[in-house]
Amino acid sequence: MRSLCRTLLCAVLLCSLCLSLLTPPAALAEEDLHMEEAVLLNDDGSESPDPDGALPPTAREDFINRIIALGEKLYHKSGGKAQRAHYAGDIYVCKNFTVYLFRQNRDDFRMKEFPDTQLVIPNNLPAKQCKPYAYGIFWEDVPAEKGNPFEVAAQFTYNSELSHEENMELACDFMRQAQRGDFFQMSADYDYGVGAHSAIMLGYDPDEDTIHWMDSNMRGKKVDGIRYGIVQFDEVKPVTWWADAFCVKRRGATLYRLRSDIIYAEDTQHENK
């Protein structure tokens, strides 16, 4: 009996030893996996950045990030309280707000094609030059060599030869082209008023078919005859809400987008040396 037990015990111990030799410890397997991470190489043999790591923003992306960050800062600073948006110098007037955000951040940036030219943002086109359309859809046509870093990314103007439904479809398609950092200009007749309005797009959400944006003075009030505007950040409305606003005879909207060749001003200084 004792001989049989010893035989069985030896057999169990032998099986355990074989399994331990065939199966590496979990900790060792994890270490080996970590050590064997692939390193991608460029054509010249240099090591590429970690494909899973976040790449630093381009100069253009950084410019947009700074503009949006300042808009968010002013939003929080306002604390939800209306700011004066009545006089020509008030930064909380809708167009003044977008211009202020641009100008406060432009000095660190240039266009690669025109590295010695300071960036500018065009004014709205005067009303007389907008005809037959209403004032507020268009900017002045300032050439890039004069410092204008924006291009027309998309534009909608109401076409009286089409039905309202056809115009609405076009207006919605136009809004779906909005990208983060686009400067938006419209002439509208909607919930909050009638006339021109400026905003900066934070992006289009295709899953919800909505637009995220920031602006000032879309909503506001008058106190003793003086206009005060609300600063908004990451507001969200459906594409159809926006389309309804400017899908009106003689009205429309434009998306202005920063050119792709935005660079840092300091890079041009290094090249000149």
Closest C-alpha among 183, 176, 180, 158 to residue 240: 176
- Would you say residue 160 has pLDDT above 60? yes
- Distance between CA 201 and CA 28 in Å, rounded? 50
* pLDDT higher than threshold 80 for residue 241: yes
Q: Which position has the higher pLDDT, 26 or 266?
A: 266
Supply the pLDDT for residue 2.
47
Whether the per-residue pLDDT at 144 is higher than 90: the answer is yes
The three-state secondary structure class of 215 is strand
Q: In this structure, is residue 230 part of a structural domain?
A: yes
The share of the chain scoring above pLDDT 90, in percent, equals 77
Is residue 7, in this structure, part of any structural domain at all? no
Of 210, 176, 215, nearest in space to 197 by CA: 215
Whether residue 253 is contained in a domain is answered as yes
Q: Which of 183, 191, 23 is nearest to 95 (CA)?
A: 183
Per-residue pLDDT of 74-90, as tens digits, reads: 999 999 999 999 999 99
User: Alpha-carbon distance 224 to 73, whole Å?
Assistant: 28
In what helix (H) or strand (E) does residue 10 lie, and over which residues does it extend? Answer: helix 2-22
Mean of the per-residue pLDDT values for the chain? 86
Give the count of alpha carbons within 13 A of 60, CB side only: 13
Specify if 208 maps to a domain: yes
- pLDDT tens-digit map of 65-124: 999 999 999 999 999 999 999 999 999 999 999 999 999 999 999 999 999 999 999 999
- Please report whether residue 22 resides in a domain: no
Structure confidence at residue 89 (pLDDT): 95
Q: Model confidence at 5, in pLDDT bands (50, 70, 90)?
A: very low
Domain containing 178: what range?
59-272
Name the residue among 191, 242, 246 with its Cα closest to residue 220. 191
Mean of pLDDT values over 162-185 = 98
**Residue 94 placed within a domain:** yes
Domain count, the chain: 1
Quote the pLDDT of residue 25: 43
Is the pLDDT assigned to residue 28 strictly greater than 60?
Answer: no
Q: Evaluate whether residue 121 is within a structural domain.
A: yes
Of the two residues 11 and 239, the one the predictor is more confident about is 239
Residue 186 CA from chain centroid, whole number: 18
| 267 — pLDDT class (breaks 50, 70, 90) | confident
Q: Is 96 within a domain? A: yes
By residue count, the chain amounts to 273
| HSE of 203, CA atoms in CB hemisphere, 13 A | 8
Query: Which band of pLDDT confidence, cut at 50, 70 and 90, is reported for residue 268?
Result: confident
pLDDT at 18 exceeding the cut of 50: no
Kindly report the pTM of this predicted structure.
0.80
Mean pLDDT of 162-169: 98
CA 236 distance to own-chain centroid = 14
